[in-house]
Structure 1
Amino acid sequence: MSLAETKASQLCPANLSFVLEGIKKVKFEERPIPEIIDPYDVLINVKYTGICGSDVHYWEHGSIGDFVVRDPMVLGHESSGIVSKVGSAVTTLKVGDQVAMEPGIPCRRCEPCKSGRYHLCLYMAFAATPPYDGTLARYYRLPEDFCYKLPSSVSLKEGALIEPLGVAVHVIKQAGVVPGNSVVVFGAGPVGLLCCATAKAFGASRVIVSDIQQSRLEFAKKHLGVDTFLPARVSAGENANRLKEENNLSAGFDVAVDASGAEPAVHTGVHALRTGGTYVQAGMGKSEMNFPIMTVCAKELNFKGSFRYGSGDYKLAVELVATGKISVKEFITAEFKFEDAEQAYIDMKSGKGIKTIIAGL
Structure 2
Amino acid sequence: MTLISKPLTKYEAHYDPTKVLNDPEFRILAAGDAALKDKATNLACAYNPAHEVHMVAKPTPTAGPGEAVVHVKATGICGSDVHFWKHGHIGPTMVVRDECGAGHESAGRVIAIGDGVTNLAVGDRVAIEAGVPCGMADCDLCRTGRYNACPHVVFFSTPPYHGTLARFHAHPAAWLHKLPDTVSFEEGSVCEPLAVALAGLERAGARLGDQVVICGAGPIGLVTLLAARAAGCAPIVITDLFQSRLDFAKSLVPNVRTVCIQREWSPEETAAEIRKASGGSLKLALECTGVESSIRAAIFSVMFGGKVFVIGVGKSEQTYPFGYMSTNEIDLQFQYRYANQYPKAIRLVAEGLIDLKPLVTHRFPLEQAVEAFHVAADPLHGAIKVQIHD
Query: TM-score, with normalisation over the residues of structure 2?
Result: 0.88
CA distance in 1, matches of 2:344, 2:37: 40
CA distance in 2, matches of 1:18, 1:177: 38
| Pairing partner for 1:348 from 376, 383, 389 | 376
Q: 1:8 touches 1:28 (CA, 8 Å); kept in 2?
A: no
Matching residue of 1:329: 357
CA distance in 1, matches of 2:370, 2:35: 12
Q: 2:311 touches 2:334 (CA, 8 Å); kept in 1?
A: yes
- One-letter identity of the residue aligned with 1:246: A
User: 1:12: how far off?
Assistant: 5.5
User: 1:2: how far off?
Assistant: 6.8
Aligned to 2:279, what secondary structure does the other structure show? Answer: coil
When structure 1 is superposed on structure 2, of 159-168 and 199-208 the one drifting more is 199-208
* CA-to-aligned-CA distance 1:100-126 (integer Å, 9 cap, x gap): 110011011222111210001111110
| Pairing partner for 2:259 from 209, 229, 236 | 229
Matching residue of 2:131: 104
- One-letter identity of the residue aligned with 1:236: P
Q: 2:29 touches 2:57 (CA, 8 Å); kept in 1?
A: no
Q: 1:48 touches 1:79 (CA, 8 Å); kept in 2?
A: yes
User: 1:160: how far off?
Assistant: 0.9
Aligned to 1:289, what secondary structure does the other structure show? Answer: coil
- One-letter identity of the residue aligned with 1:345: F
Matching residue of 1:5: 32
Distance 1:322 1:264, change over 3 A: same
Query: TM-score, with normalisation over the residues of structure 1?
Result: 0.95
Write out aligned runs for 1:75-90 (5 A).
75-90=102-117
Matching residue of 1:218: 247
Q: 1:23 touches 1:61 (CA, 8 Å); kept in 2?
A: no
CA distance in 1, matches of 2:48, 2:266: 42
Matching residue of 2:272: 241
Aligned to 1:5, what secondary structure does the other structure show? Answer: coil
Distance 1:216 1:257, change over 3 A: same
Distance 1:27 1:231, change over 3 A: closer
Q: How many residues align?
A: 356
When structure 1 is superposed on structure 2, of 238-247 and 178-187 the one drifting more is 238-247
Aligned: 1:338 with 2:363 = no
Mind listing any 5+ residue stretches in structure 1 that lack a counterpart? none
Aligned to 1:276, what secondary structure does the other structure show? Answer: strand
State the identity %: 37
* CA-to-aligned-CA distance 1:6-48 (integer Å, 9 cap, x gap): 375434633222222333323332222222222x211111011
User: 1:157: how far off?
Assistant: 1.2
| Structure 1 consecutive aligned stretches of length 4 or more whose deviation exceeds 6 Å | none
User: 1:245: how far off?
Assistant: 2.0
Aligned: 1:320 with 2:348 = yes
Give the aligned CA root-mean-square deviation in angstroms: 1.5
Distance 1:51 1:162, change over 3 A: same
Q: 2:304 touches 2:329 (CA, 8 Å); kept in 1?
A: yes
Q: 2:193 touches 2:220 (CA, 8 Å); kept in 1?
A: yes
| Pairing partner for 2:154 from 116, 121, 125 | 125
Q: 1:6 touches 1:28 (CA, 8 Å); kept in 2?
A: no
Distance 1:152 1:57, change over 3 A: same
Aligned: 1:283 with 2:309 = no
Matching residue of 2:87: 61
User: 1:208: how far off?
Assistant: 1.1
Matching residue of 2:70: 44
| Pairing partner for 2:179 from 145, 150, 169 | 150
CA distance in 2, matches of 1:26, 1:6: 16
* CA-to-aligned-CA distance 1:46-84 (integer Å, 9 cap, x gap): 011000000001111222222111121111110000011
* CA-to-aligned-CA distance 1:77-106 (integer Å, 9 cap, x gap): 100000111223222211111111100110
Aligned to 1:160, what secondary structure does the other structure show? Answer: helix
User: 1:247: how far off?
Assistant: 2.1
When structure 1 is superposed on structure 2, of 136-145 and 117-126 the one drifting more is 136-145
Aligned to 1:165, what secondary structure does the other structure show? Answer: helix
User: 1:293: how far off?
Assistant: 1.5
Matching residue of 1:197: 226
